Amino acid sequence: MLASWFGGVRRFEGLGHSPLPARRLVAVYSGQSASTGPRVQRYLQWSGREAFAVESAALCELFAVDPLAALREGFMLLCNMARAAGLAYETPGLRRIVDLAASYGGAAKPSGAGGGDVAVAMFPEPEAEAAFCAACAAEGLPPIPVTIAPGAAASALSEP
């Protein structure tokens, strides 16, 4: 709720929050749906959850200063977790999105708990982002238009 009210990219910690520099995100559909429920159940049975959560939290710190590195490391962390937990997580489409992002100087990782269906990517330059989107579309990996909202706005209503 706070994110929708304040908008932009924000870091929430405890009861506090602070804005992060504006970032552009690209979402891409991998062409394969993911079934989250069974994967979540398998994850909940995995003994390495606590260490994974600590490492994931550290990536939030990294994202504030180097979002591309955080996405790259986040993808590796997710793949390592999936292997250790016995999850089928990385799909060929997802791997291709990650590889394409890297080839254009950006980074990508799965979005959501299920993995497999949608990835988010970021790039240092708009030209690299545009080239990545064109390459994805050419390979049947459609970019999904997304915009980071500016947040809610209040206005005074006058009596008629």
Residue 62, domain member (yes or no):
yes
pTM of the complete model beyond 0.85: no
Task: For the chain, give the mean pLDDT.
Answer: 85
> Residue 152 to residues 2, 13, 27, 111: CA-CA distances in angstroms?
10, 21, 23, 24
Residue 51, domain member (yes or no):
yes
Residue 14, domain member (yes or no):
no
Query: What range does the domain containing 58 cover?
Result: 23-144
Residue 123, domain member (yes or no):
yes
pLDDT of residue 146: 87
Domain count of the fold of the chain: 1
Residue 99, domain member (yes or no):
yes
- 118: which strand partners? 29
pLDDT of residue 148: 74
Query: How far is the C-alpha of 85 from the C-alpha of 66, rounded, in Å?
Result: 28
pLDDT of residue 116: 62
CATH code of 93's domain: 3.30.70.890
Give pLDDT < 50 ranges for the chain: none
Residue 18, domain member (yes or no):
no
For 9-49, the pLDDT digits (tens) are 777 777 777 766 667 889 999 988 777 777 888 888 899 99
